[in-house]
Amino acid sequence: MFVDTLGAAVRHEQHGVTRSALKALGAFGSAATGARDTIRSLTTATDAHVRPAAVAALWATGGDLAEVMPLLLGLLDDPITFRISDAADVLGELGPPPSVALPRLRGLLTHDYEWVRVHCAAAL
């Protein structure tokens, strides 16, 4: 059902619905592996909210750390603050963050926006 909703939302460029469907699929974890190709295609979406939601859903549905890490690191370098925060949240869910993310997370502890600092500190 959510896979169909996701597909329809993407076709109709309903980014808010797309993001919600990605979150729902992520909540199902590995049970939503059938949607991984669609989710993977959305990790390069231009919509500011869809891209980080797709990266989070890709990880939650059993994503490969080697595939997800470059996407998360790209979000950490994004100028949009909530993308940085979303990436830090996913890194925090990974447990001890992979060492490649540590310098970026530490550097973001001095970011101008306090909520970026909060999310990065929580990830560490």
Q: Residue 72 sits in which domain range?
A: 65-124
- The predicted pLDDT at position 41 comes to 92
Query: Given a cut of 70, is residue 103 above it in pLDDT?
Result: yes
Cα-based distances in Å from 27 to 7, 17, 19, 83? 17, 15, 12, 19
Residues 5-41 have pLDDT tens digits of 888 888 888 888 888 888 888 887 777 777 888 899 9
Q: Report how many domains make up the chain.
A: 2
Same domain, 35 and 76: no
Same domain, 33 and 78: no
Same domain, 54 and 70: no
Query: Given a cut of 90, is residue 98 above it in pLDDT?
Result: no
Same domain, 40 and 51: yes
Query: Given a cut of 80, is residue 95 above it in pLDDT?
Result: no
- The predicted pLDDT at position 2 comes to 67
For position 85, which CATH number holds? 1.25.10.10
